[in-house]
Structure formats: C-alpha cells, structure tokens
Structure 1
C-alpha cells in the first residue's frame, strides 16, 4: 500500500506578518503588504514597489553568528522550519535522524548576499577584477544554493535525503511535491519541505524591469498587485518563505498529531515553448491539473477551491483561466478561485510554498482568502475570483497551481483529513 503524506506543521515568514497566524490574519482580512521598496533605493528603476517582510532576525530568535553566516533567504527558511516543527510537535517524537529529510525550494538562492558582496569586492562596480580578500568568510556558501537546504537540515537535525529544488517560480510547489514523493516511496518518515527567496535587490529589479514584467504603478503601491483585473499591468515582487512538516499519515495519526490536510496529488509539465511566454490555451497547466487529479481518481467536480498562480500579468491570468476551463470543464465556473499574490506579492520560488501553506490553513479554517484589488474584472478572466473579501466556504479538496519562467507548470491537490479515501493510480 502506498504511503500517504499529511501536513502536521506550518511555518510562514511573509510580507505583512512573521509567523503562521500573522500571515493568515493578513490573508483572511484582504489587506495588502505591498509598498514602496525600502531595502534599497528604488529611484533608478521602472518598478519601485514590492512586498517586503518586516523581519528582525534577532527578534525571530537567530543568534549573531547565524545572522552573520546566513543570507536573508536562509534566515527566513530557518525561522519557518522552527515554527513548523514546533507546530507539529514532532520534536519530542523518536524519529531517527536518518529518517528525516529536507526538501527546500528557491528560485534565486542567496541573491542579496551575492549582490552585497559583489558591490564590496568590485568597489561598487568600478573594478572589473574583484579583490576576493574583501569577501566575507561565508561567500562560497552564498554561491551554492544548496546551502539553504543545509542550514535547515542543521537546524532540525535531518540526516536523511536533503535537496534544494530550483525550478524557477514553481520551486515552492515542486519542493513540496518532492517531499511527498520521499514519504510515499518510504525514503523518509518526516520531511521538512518548503521554499524561500529574498530577491529584493537592485539586480533583481533591473532584470524584471528589462522585460517589463513588474508593475510601473508606483503611485499607489497598496493597490499595485491586481490579478485578474482589467487594469493590471504586471506583478509586484515579494519575498518570504514557508515550511511544512510532512509526515506519513498512519504515523501522524498514531501519535495524535493535528493534521491540516493531506497532499493527494502532484504533477508538473513544461511547455517547451518560450522562456517567458505562455500559450493562450493553457494546455500544459491543464495537463498538470488533470494528472494530479487522476493520481487519486478524483473527478474535476471534487475541487472546491483553486489557489491560482494569479501573478497579475496579462498573459498569465488569461493562460490559467483557460487552463482551469480546459481541465475542469463547466465546473470551473462554480469554483471560487483567488490569488494571494494580490496581498503578498510574488516571491518567486518561495510563493508556491506560501500558497500551499495558505491552502492548508484555508482547509483547516474553511475560509477562502480573497483576491485583493480586484475591482474591474477582465472580461477574459470570467471565473469566480473572490474579489476583495474572504469567503466562508465548505472545502474538502483544494487545488494549488504554479507557473514559472522556462515553461514550468505545476499542480498540487490537497484534501481535508479523511475526505479522500484512495489508492494511488
């Protein structure tokens, strides 16, 4: 019998709130955490807004040595892992270290640390040949993204499989999917899974400016992220992390763990089409959705809520609207859909894990977060996108999707505990 993976712990560091409850309070209230960038001077850039985390590493429990050693992305991940482990109650259980795994996602690794060090080593870009002697002792770690996963493994004492999953903006979904597979195949009993990114730096702003993907709506930062709205003009960058504790279901039930939900399906596809472009028919995302549902023989009508990628770009929002219709048929028009990027921005690789964490909390509390700032719906985005205000809604099955540069399309299906009796196909 295939082992089944459940979520027993949730840790979140997100714009507008550090900690699981603070993050959920923001999402369920429909507030936005988007503002003018304060982490660096954004004046030279086309897009000068972002969703920043008000994060004090010392207040979050990190030691001066940890703060000195770790990039901001690693700090986020470690703080999330601590909260998730505490929430799960697994720390007091006799789980062998070699049966504990880490699956962490990140799209851009230690961007902030690398840029800060380059500025110093190159004398603010004036020297072509950099002087390595001015680098911090941990510079090599910034250059190797897997150190993010290693920091989490050190924190939780994981001696089983440890991996860094980097698949662009689907990294946060794919890392959790990898963790689920480790549980199902019997390679681990507990997996610390999630993703982190802290990309808010001048190089990131310049890159997205160059392709005009981010919003130029600098005069109204609070309402700049507008997924599915007729007047949307690009996404808002964000930062943050989320980490889940995944356990084998039977073991979690034996110890009386609180179970937020079960991850019953996961699939990914690539469009093999364009680095940033999307085909309007949404076929690849639709195939990922159908595959994830087919794994547990779920009919599309079983889906009660969709957490959309909802980046707020013209092509993405229309692409996934088409994907929902293609994969779910007429039922797509009956399902509430929302994008939390309207409130916490797009934290690249981290956002998929933040969205899965939000889905777990939505299942637990039976509340659908809203799509903030959706005042003028795009006629081409004609589904129920839960505008402005959260909605109490009966949910047994939730779908979360992600879309990333490079053509990555991922879909994950979560279910309320006991709602989906199944054998995987």
Structure 2
C-alpha cells in the first residue's frame, strides 16, 4: 500500500482566508463569531454567525467568472488554489489521469437557488438564469476545481452532511493508498449563512441565541451551551502518494494514516445519544492506521455545542479509548469558527496538521462551566504546548454519517 502525505493546504474561514491567519487566530483562542451583517436579521431569533470576511470573488476570478459561481464554489476554488500553491504543484507536469478531486458541500448553492425562485415569482420563467442548475448543485465545487486544473482522474462530491470534509479526505486517501491515483485535491466547502437556512435551523431550536455576546455563543461541552452557531468557508488539502511527492521534491507537511466511516442508522438529524456510530468510525480509523488507542496524542472533536451531540461524542471517545480517554487532550475548533457544515472537516484537518507540527493544541474556548457528563480533557480556554505525533479528527453529519481520519507528523 502507498503511503499518503499532505503537501498543501488552503482555507477560507471566519478566522481568516489563509492558513497562517487561520492558525494564528485559532491557537490564540480568538472567536470568529459576530453579528450577521450581510442581510437583515431583525425578525430572527439568532442574529450571529461565523461569516467569511474580506473575500472578493470578482477580484479573485474576474467579474464574468465569479458571476457563474455560487459562493460555495468560489470559496472552494480559492482554497484549492492556495493548497496547490502551498504544495508548489505544477499541475501541467503531472499525469492528469491520476490526478483527481474529492470536494463536497452539504447544502450547495442556496443563495443562487433562492435568488432564482424570487426571479421566477416576480419576473417570470423567462428571466430565470440558465446557469441556475450548474451553479447550485453541490458537485460543482469539485467540477470547477477539476476544470480549472485539468484533473482528469476520479472526481466526485461526497454528500455526507457535516462529515463531508473527512469523508472526502478519507476516500481520497483510500484511492491513493490503493495505487489508483497519485494526487488528490480533497476537502469541503459551504456558504449556507443565508436567511432561509438561518430560519430553518432557528425554528428547529438548534441555534444559539446568545446574540449579545456572539464570541461566547459557541461553547462545546459547557453546561450553559444553548445550540450551535452557523459558519461558512472551505478547507482543502493536497494529498499525494509518498513516492510521487518525493519524486518531485515536495515539502511534505504530514501524513494521513487512517480513515473510518459508519452510520448511526438512528435518526435523520439527531446523533445517536450513546455515540454508537461515532465509536465505530473512530475504531475503524485506528484499525485502518494500524495503531492502538494508546498511540493517539490528541483528538479534534466534532463538538458542535449541542447537548446531545457533545455528550454522545464524549461517550464514544470513552468507549474507543477506554482508560486512556481521560488523558488525551481534546480540542473543539467550532468554539471559534462556528459550525462550517460541509467545510468543517477540511478546516479541522488543516488545524490538526498544524497542531501536530507545532506541538500546540488550540483551546476549546468558552468552556467556563463544564457539563458534569462531559468530563474529559477539552483543553479549556488556553492553548497547550505538548509534544505530539498522531492525532484523530472526528466529523459527524445529519442522517447519521460519521467519519474519522488519523493524521501523523511526517517521518521518513
């Protein structure tokens, strides 16, 4: 089996639109949650989100091209561009038939869809954009990246809700590991901070309404949490076979060594309260990596800041790691980014790789009154410096989709 390494990373997020800025803010414990200012939230119960700032699609891609892409595509394309630059990968110098793209989105082009519904209602069918469908469908981020960089290999858009990033990375890892590809662009993207989605999640009583203190709203594992916070962005990485990376003299940033996936088979939105599927995904990831629970130095939790989800994940970690569970540091990036849905897994993989390489675990902020039933080491409020080698990252999604990936510092 081929070893699979990470050679490039790119991000768009509420904490910054490049890896350096994102990572600096994350380890400093800065929140990217703020009042929504892109649409009127007067009549909404929740008025806060993790929005992407300082992103100008027209400046990046030109007005003509930007107008053909929903923002979820723009985010993905820019993050992919960063990742390829970071990898110093000249895509015209590689075997394009062994170069693929696995990038997904949970909701796709919701802005494009709603805008055209309004056009249909107000101006008639003749004014609906002929580009509506190719702009809104969730596979279009992967397609746009493939077209731009002439990736002729396997290209798909996994739709596993909030576990998309890990699913994409894990399936791309499998493809390279089996020898079917040399290079894969993998991750997830989302642009769902929109009135329709905000209203729906709000009516489901899933969102925090801590509008007077947005930076404190996302509080995984805290007894006073009142729901999750929506977020947007994209997290994309470049994966290569070790042989391919070495042959072109690439700077290797880390290694993917394991991946596990499962289904709760329980409920369309609620995660299993006992964390059954989450445990299975973690167990399979460790088996795939050929390591034991004792080998894991840090866990990046899914941890959305919901009571059922946080408790279920805590139980799953305890079941997976047994007596060691209480001694493994656990970080919850969503305390600062909010829940980036399909983009979360990719962003958190980037954060975990930085964590391993720098030996700094970002804090779980706003953990002021720990839930007595969530009694593990969640690295509360302050980053922690500690020697690290192997980390596991969890992502779980609506429908009971669970995925876990295992990353390691690169060793020759």
Shorter-chain TM-score bucket reads: over 0.9
The reply to whether residue 12 of structure 1 matches residue 5 of structure 2 is: no
Output one character per residue of 1:59-100: Cα deviation in whole Å (capped at 9) or x when no partner.
862211121111000000010011000000111772121111
Q: Between 377-386 and 274-283, report the one with greater CA deviation.
A: 274-283
- Aligned residue runs from structure 1 range 382-393, under 5 A: 382-393=375-386
After TM superposition, give the deviation of residue 358 of structure 1 in Å. Answer: 0.8
Partners of 1:39 and 1:200 within 8 A in 2: no
Q: Which runs of 5+ in 2 are unaligned?
A: none
Output one character per residue of 1:326-354: Cα deviation in whole Å (capped at 9) or x when no partner.
00011111111011101111011110111
Give secondary structure in 1 for the equivalent of 2:235: strand
2:265 — aligned with what?
272
Output one character per residue of 1:308-335: Cα deviation in whole Å (capped at 9) or x when no partner.
0010000011000000000001111111
Alpha carbons of structure 1 residues 77 and 60: separation in structure 2 relative to 1, 3 Å: farther
The reply to whether residue 227 of structure 1 matches residue 220 of structure 2 is: yes
1:68 — aligned with what?
67
After TM superposition, give the deviation of residue 4 of structure 1 in Å. Answer: 1.8
2:167 — aligned with what?
174
Distance, in Å, in 2 between the alignment partners of 1:157 and 1:345 is 33
1:48 — aligned with what?
47
1:197 — aligned with what?
190
Q: Between 276-285 and 199-208, report the one with greater CA deviation.
A: 276-285
Partners of 2:73 and 2:144 within 8 A in 1: yes
- Aligned residue runs from structure 1 range 16-35, under 5 A: 16-35=15-34
- Aligned residue runs from structure 1 range 26-425, under 5 A: 26-58=25-57, 61-91=60-90, 94-123=93-122, 131-418=124-411
Distance, in Å, in 2 between the alignment partners of 1:237 and 1:40 is 14
Partners of 1:60 and 1:79 within 8 A in 2: no
Alpha carbons of structure 1 residues 57 and 180: separation in structure 2 relative to 1, 3 Å: same
CA RMSD of aligned residues (A): 1.5
**Aligned residue-pair number:** 412
Distance, in Å, in 1 between the alignment partners of 2:38 and 2:117 is 17
Partners of 1:182 and 1:188 within 8 A in 2: yes
Output one character per residue of 1:213-260: Cα deviation in whole Å (capped at 9) or x when no partner.
111111111111001111001000000001100000122123332222
Partners of 1:179 and 1:191 within 8 A in 2: yes
Partners of 1:112 and 1:200 within 8 A in 2: no
After TM superposition, give the deviation of residue 136 of structure 1 in Å. Answer: 2.7
Distance, in Å, in 2 between the alignment partners of 1:172 and 1:58 is 22
Distance, in Å, in 2 between the alignment partners of 1:371 and 1:16 is 15
Distance, in Å, in 2 between the alignment partners of 1:279 and 1:73 is 29
Distance, in Å, in 1 between the alignment partners of 2:411 and 2:17 is 30
Q: Which runs of 5+ in 1 are unaligned?
A: 124-129, 420-425
After TM superposition, give the deviation of residue 133 of structure 1 in Å. Answer: 1.8
Distance, in Å, in 1 between the alignment partners of 2:219 and 2:321 is 24
Distance, in Å, in 2 between the alignment partners of 1:173 and 1:20 is 18
Distance, in Å, in 1 between the alignment partners of 2:183 and 2:278 is 29
Partners of 2:44 and 2:199 within 8 A in 1: yes
Give the 4+ runs in structure 1 shifted more than 6 A.
none
Output one character per residue of 1:116-149: Cα deviation in whole Å (capped at 9) or x when no partner.
22222223xxxxxx72222234212134222221
Distance, in Å, in 2 between the alignment partners of 1:341 and 1:408 is 18
Scaled by the length of structure 1, what TM-score is found?
A: 0.94
